Amino acid sequence: MSTNNDNLLAQGRIAVLGYGSQGRAHALNLRDSGLDVVVGLRPNGPTWHKAKAEGFTVVEPGEAVKGADLVAVLTPDMVQPTLYTESIEPNIKPGAALLFAHGFNVHFGQITPRKDIDVILVAPKGPGALVRTEYERGRGVPSIWAVYQDVSGQAEAKAHAYADGIGGGRALLIKTDFKEETETDLFGEQAVLCGGASELVKAGFETLVEAGYQPEIAYYEVMHELKLIVDLFYEGGLTKMLQFISETAQYGDYVSGPRVIDAGVKARMKDVLTDIQNGTFAKNWTEEYKAGLPNYKKLKQADLDHPIEKVGAALRARMPWLQTGNAQPAAAPLKKAG
């Protein structure tokens, strides 16, 4: 794709720091949009060689930042403060833009950006692989954007230009701020998407197994089939889910769902949100990371050792369509006989 001269970044240079799922997708999409991209990574790591093999100029982060008009920080949250102090702050030029895909470190004060740079956020609402494949199809993933600090008078335009460069402008751009993006993202992960869903699945599995049902049957009912429901949610919300499940399932949804997810659950969700809003979670997570992750490792191992994982591994081995490289079949309607 040729350079878009209407893009504010077309005559500048973008440094992408990090080459994981999002970093790779952003770098490739920006380059294919005709923008000048350099990738900043620790020398000779696996992503260093991957980025070089895919045709990028790859240098150490501090070197990548020098002279860049926009620096995109796409590394894990907990390494960003050190990366900022050691590689970004001494090298980013006045008037340049510092871009994040998640506002955690800025919002919670782990990073205090220099006062002579723009600070912006662009966050696609999808994983890096989807950001890349949708771009290649001529489409894009909806993205949210925010401005935290505008010294150039062009911070908003830079955010839009970056979003256009990765394909977000082809879909939908939603304005937010660092506070809203950070707090809602953390809440979604903890209360629903990761913490809430995994605890619900484990509790359902344990309830069935403790009642004498086969673990294999329990696995299929509370974990495996969850994908079918989530796909329906993803494609058409509650409306499509209700369209594709039986009336029996619908009635059970209406009368039993509120018995499990009741007012007490919502009250505890509010407690989770409060801990996020007042900085308790950020403080605890930062201290845990600095201590070497002892509780994190213990809690992670407990999940990995849960009986549902042993049962699931054996069952998934008999489902070749789940193996890497094989396409997964489309979600089947869940209307059942009876």
pLDDT-derived band at 323 (thresholds 50, 70, 90) equals confident
Q: Distance between CA 70 and CA 120 in Å, rounded?
A: 10
pLDDT-derived band at 239 (thresholds 50, 70, 90) equals very high
Does 303 show up as a binding residue in the annotation? Answer: no
Residue-level pLDDT at 44 = 84
Mean residue pLDDT across the chain: 94
Does 180 show up as a binding residue in the annotation? Answer: no
Average pLDDT over residues 85-106: 98
pLDDT-derived band at 330 (thresholds 50, 70, 90) equals very low
Structure tokens at 149: 């600090």
* pLDDT for 266 beyond 70: yes
Residue-level pLDDT at 246 = 97
- Per-residue pLDDT reduced to its tens digit, 36-64: 999 999 998 889 999 999 999 999 999 99
Residue-level pLDDT at 6 = 56
Does 13 show up as a binding residue in the annotation? Answer: no
Question: Which residues 6+ apart lie within 8 Å of 55 measured at CB?
Answer: none
- Per-residue pLDDT reduced to its tens digit, 121-154: 999 999 999 999 999 999 999 999 999 999 999 9
Residue-level pLDDT at 108 = 98
102 belongs to the catalytic site: yes
Of residues 335 and 73, more confidently modeled: 73
Does 189 show up as a binding residue in the annotation? Answer: yes
Does 47 show up as a binding residue in the annotation? Answer: yes
CATH assignment of 14-176? 3.40.50.720
pLDDT-derived band at 286 (thresholds 50, 70, 90) equals very high
* pLDDT for 217 beyond 50: yes
- Given the residues 102, 107, 224, 306, select the one marked as catalytic: 102
Does 309 show up as a binding residue in the annotation? Answer: no
Does 18 show up as a binding residue in the annotation? Answer: no
Residue-level pLDDT at 212 = 98
Residue ranges of the domains in the chain? 14-176, 193-319
pTM (whole model) above 0.85: yes
